[in-house]
Structure formats: C-alpha cells, structure tokens
C-alpha cells in the first residue's frame, strides 16, 4: 500500500504509469488474467529494451491477493483492468482505462493504448517460441519415416482425393486465422466479468478468439461441402437415368441429382448467410446480409 501511494497516487509526478489490476491466484476464476498479464509483461519488457533512456513511462502490477485494499480504493470488482495514471492526474480525477472488450488485450493493443495516452511508441518484442520448430521437425521426421516404411508401395501419393482433402484442410486453417492465433496467442473464449456471459466471437476487427476461428473454419467447410454437392449433382449423367446403368457421384451415392443439388444449394445459402452475419458482428456498419442480420 505504501508503494501504491508513493509511486502511483502521490503528486506531483513527472512520469506516467500504467497499472494492471489482476488476479493471478489459481483459486480465482479468471481465465484471461494470466494471458493478459503475459501480454502486459511483454509490453513492459519491450519498452525497457527499445526505450532504455526513456524515463517518462513506467509499468506496475497489482494482484488482488497481495493488495485487496487497492482494489477497494479503486472500486474494482473485476479483473484484469489496465489504468493509465498520467503525470497531471489529480487525486479525484479517474484515470484512463483501456477497453479490453473493444480492443482486446494483446501486446500490440496495449502498445497502441500507451501511444494514444503518452505518444510513446513501443515496438513489441516477443520472446522466441521454440515449440513450433520442434513440432515441425517431429512432423517432418514422422512423414519421412512413414514414406520410408511404404517405400515399396507409394501409390497413395497419386490419390487425387487425398491431396484434395489435404489442400482443403490447409486452406481452411489459413482462412480461419490460425496463423494469427499462433502469433498473438488469444484466449479460447472471453467471459464478461460482470454478467459472466461467454463470448465466442470478439466484436472488434483488431482481435479474435480461438473459438471464433474454429467457428469460421467450420462454416467454410460446410459451404465447401455444399459446392461439392452441387458439382457432383451436375456431374451425374442424367441421360443414363432413363435406362442402363446409373452413373453415381462420389459424395452421397444414394441421393438423386435434384435432391443433391437442393441440399448443396441450401447449405451454401444458409451458411454463407451465417458467414455474413459473423462479418457484420465484427465490422460494424456492413450493410449486406441474407438470412441473419
């Protein structure tokens, strides 16, 4: 409490300080506190390394378990929260708060908030992640080992269906934003600390959730499946249905061409409408929609 009064609330000061209020105790139900703290720590370390001579901006952390009286003084019942205490902030004036719901809590968003408040530009420097190269190396070893074991029978390499499925999976992964998740490390979902409602799709264009990417990936997959049904329905030799052997599609052999086309068109129409709805939820003011507003 003495450090809080001395370095944060005492006036006059010739520096700004950004304080994160959080609850890192394992017993506290705060799933986003740990990742938000790690992003805040990245920003603080980046500022220290990129601006070693700058003495106008400092960072502090207040954990609820260590200083509950500070939370009471600030009338806080939620976490995490980032406040900016400027050098000219008076004792009765409320500090500037970062809006996590709108901007997210990744290091780049925190850096932009600091730049808006103090005009201090921080180049975010993330620590190297060696997990990805190790996983890729193991995957390459597994693939090479599998090819070596099947060296006498490599006909599966010429299977068009297998390569098509692999290409579609790679396309869905990159379209859904999995690479962004790998770089930024967002949480799976977000829970409103006041209403306890879980959010699967973030409402900002600058941030996304892991669950959101899975939803988008699934929507793209269903739309693609609908187009495959339409393509297979058109590929059936309709003239052979009146006599002789019927040429069946590869997708759903028991369906008639008309039923297959209707199902494919319905899937494309419904799930493309859902995709537009998700897009409208993130890009406010987007004017177009189909079934869902």
* Sequence-distant (≥ 6) Cβ neighbours of residue 105 within 8 angstroms: 32, 35, 36, 39, 40, 80, 82, 98
Q: Is 70 within a domain?
A: yes
Q: Is 292 within a domain?
A: no
| pLDDT the model gives residue 43 | 93
- Whether the upstream peptide bond of residue 80 has omega within 30° of 0, thus cis, is yes
Distance CA 58, CA 81 (A): 16
Distances (CA, A) of 279 to 177, 208, 276: 14, 12, 5
Confidence of residue 113 (pLDDT cuts 50, 70, 90): very high
Query: Residue 221 pLDDT more than 90?
Result: yes
Per the prediction, the chain carries an average pLDDT of 83
Q: Is 127 within a domain?
A: no
193 and 273 housed in the same domain? yes
Here the CATH number for the domain that contains residue 61 is 3.40.30.10
Question: How many secondary structure helices (H) and strands (E) does the chain include?
Answer: 10, 6
Examine the fold and report which residue of 58, 89, 118 is the final residue of a domain before the chain moves on.
118
Q: Which helix (H) or strand (E) holds 18?
A: strand 16-22
Domain containing residue 105? 2-118
Query: Residue 90 pLDDT more than 70?
Result: no
Confidence of residue 241 (pLDDT cuts 50, 70, 90): low
Q: Is 128 within a domain?
A: no
| pLDDT the model gives residue 291 | 86
Number of domains in the chain: 2
| pLDDT the model gives residue 92 | 62
Query: Residue 259 pLDDT more than 70?
Result: yes
Q: Is 193 within a domain?
A: yes
Q: Is 169 within a domain?
A: yes
Mean pLDDT of 222-237: 86
211 and 107 housed in the same domain? no
pLDDT in tens, 131-153: 778 888 999 999 899 888 878 88
């Amino acid at each position: 409490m003495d450090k809080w009064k001395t370095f944060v609330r005492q006036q006059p000061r010739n520096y700004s300080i950004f304080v994160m209020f959080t609850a890192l105790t394992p017993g506290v139900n705060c799933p986003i506190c740990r990742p938000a703290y790690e992003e805040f720590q990245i920003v603080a370390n980046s500022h220290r390394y990129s601006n070693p001579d700058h003495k106008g901006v400092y960072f502090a952390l207040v954990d609820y378990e260590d200083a509950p009286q500070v939370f009471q003084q600030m009338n806080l019942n939620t976490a995490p929260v980032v406040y900016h205490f400027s050098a000219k902030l008076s004792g009765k004036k409320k500090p500037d708060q970062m809006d996590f719901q709108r901007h997210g809590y990744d290091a780049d968003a925190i850096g932009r908030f600091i730049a808006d408040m103090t005009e201090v530009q921080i180049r975010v420097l993330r620590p190297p992640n060696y997990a990805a190269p190790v996983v890729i190396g193991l995957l390459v070893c597994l693939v090479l080992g599998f090819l070596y074991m099947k060296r006498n029978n490599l006909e599966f390499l010429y299977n068009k269906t297998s390569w098509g499925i692999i290409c579609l999976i790679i396309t869905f992964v990159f379209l859904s934003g999995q690479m962004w998740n790998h770089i930024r490390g967002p949480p799976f979902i977000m829970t409103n600390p006041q209403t306890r409602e879980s959010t699967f799709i973030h409402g900002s264009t600058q941030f996304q959730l892991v669950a959101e990417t899975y939803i988008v990936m699934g929507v793209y997959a269903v739309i693609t499946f609908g187009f495959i049904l339409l393509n297979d329905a058109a590929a059936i030799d309709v003239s052979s249905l009146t006599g002789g052997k019927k040429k069946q599609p590869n997708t759903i052999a028991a369906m008639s061409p008309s039923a297959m086309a209707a199902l494919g068109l319905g899937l494309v129409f419904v799930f493309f409408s859902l995709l537009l709805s998700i897009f409208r939820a993130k890009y406010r003011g987007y004017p177009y929609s189909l079934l869902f507003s």
